[in-house]
Homo-oligomer: A and B are copies of this chain.
Amino acid sequence: MSQVCIATYRSYDDRADFHKKALSIAVGLTVGSWTELPEAKKAEMEKHLGKVLSVEVHEPANGAAGERYADIRIAYPDINFSQDIPALLVTVFGKLSMDGRIKLIDLDVSENFASAFPGPRFGLQGVRDLLDVHDRPLLMSIFKSVVGHDLANLQEQFYKQALGGVDLIKDDEILFENPLTPLEKRVEICMEAARKAQEETGQKLLYAVNLTGPTSQLAANARKAVAAGANALLFNVLSYGYDVMHELSKDPEINVPIAAHPALAGAFYPSPHYGIGASLLLGKLMRLAGADLVLFPSPYGSVVMPKEENLAVKDALLSPLHQLRTSFPVPSAGIHPGLVPLILKDFGTDVVVNAGGGIHGHPMGTAAGGHAFRQAIQAALSGTPLLEAAAAEGNEALQAAITAWGIKEA
């Protein structure tokens, strides 16, 4: 069983001796000092010492200032930290994050470290099982607007979305506990709308209600939501910390899938010089912490993440990672039906197509917005060009969506 966690950094510096820097990190973030230790002490401390695994220096072709960097990999013995994400992050990037232009790109956690993490309780397959949908991407929709609206309004919005054949509906991440639509009431009236819609559509539906409140009350709030009928949760992981997510996900009484929202992620990942890489921040760490579904910026919309980074997040959620279940990737923002073939080409079929404006803004209304997406998904799966599918009888919703938003070629 492996017993070291490996951090990969990208460090920018026009002049630094990166090998020396790597060594100073490996020693400084573990035993503190090494060369001056007596030999007997070295033998005793060896098992705590960080090790430089590799240093790949990238000299800029034209010697341009500011573009020289090195990718540095360092192994940290598990024995130095407790088996939790705060301890791991503080060890590998606590002080170091403030030491010049350096970004934490990746973490390969040891089998030993990972053994403390049950990971997603449901995961991709479990979410499919709950919905009984195994042969197509899922469709998620979000409310049009929530702040200032009352229960009746939310119920109506919910019902219209549900009629469109979506598989999941999520709260807006900025909907907190409030007198107009308090948590348990909100769950009750939305699940009532879900049941009513199910009589029409014959289709199951998960409602991810936003879990908010003081940290120490989150588990209790989650249990209240579940008791009121919630069959999923939405959680702003980065505003509370990965460890809170981890504790919620392994709480046996919170037996519903948890969707991780990426709120605040942009404070970490976009700079090339600072922060934490997206595939670690929104991919590996979310999965380790137990997110069953993970929302992240799509490469298609206004809130953009470069496609390479985007696919790296997806890979971190779906690739083998010790004993952990996979998490459902939910690329979000700017999604309309004309993008569906491209989404499936980029992400495969194990993806949640997530739309807001692309559903509520549909010319024929919200329910038709959902239908248009389902029709686009069906077409993409069967290899039928969207234009052809849109012309088919019964696919008027898709036709109208394409007229409104166009098609982006896959």
B-binding residues in A (CB < 8 A): 29-33, 44-45, 47-48, 79-82, 84-87, 89-91, 93-102, 104, 144-148, 172-174, 176-178, 212-216, 219, 236, 239-241, 243-244, 247, 261-268, 270-271, 273-276, 297, 302-305
Contact = CB atoms under 8 A, between A and B. Distances in A.
Contacts of A267: 93, 97, 104, 267-268, 274-276
A84 B90 CA distance: 24
B148 A86 contact: no
Q: Which of A99, A214, A264, A276 is packed against the most chain B CB atoms within 10 Å?
A: A264
A81 B94 CA distance: 30
A93 B98 CA distance: 22
B263 A90 contact: yes
Nearest to A242: B239
B271 A147 contact: no
Given A82-B178, A87-B239, A90-B236, 17 more contacts: A48-B148, A80-B176, A87-B212, A89-B264, A90-B264, A93-B263, A94-B263, A97-B265, A97-B266, A97-B267, A215-B244, A216-B247, A240-B241, A240-B244, A244-B244, A271-B273, A271-B274
Contacts of A80: 147-148, 174, 176
Given A216-B247, A297-B98, A90 B147 contact: no
**Chain A, interface SS category:** loop
Nearest to A94: B263
A79 B266 CA distance: 25
Contact of A90 (B96, B177, B239, B304): B239
Given A147-B80, A215-B247, A265 B98 contact: yes
Contacts of A89: 239, 263-264
A246 to B, nearest CB: 8
Most buried by B among A32, A100, A101, A265: A32
Count the copies: 2
A5 B397 CA distance: 42
8 contacts: A86-B212, A90-B239, A98-B266, A98-B303, A214-B243, A216-B216, A267-B274, A267-B276
A145 B33 contact: yes
A173 B265 contact: no
B48 A94 contact: no
Query: Interface centre among A91, A144, A241, by most B CB within 10 Å?
Result: A241
A241 B268 CA distance: 14
A147 B274 contact: no
A274 B270 contact: yes
Contact of A266 (B99, B174, B219, B304): B99
Contacts of A91: 174
Contacts of A82: 176-178, 212-213
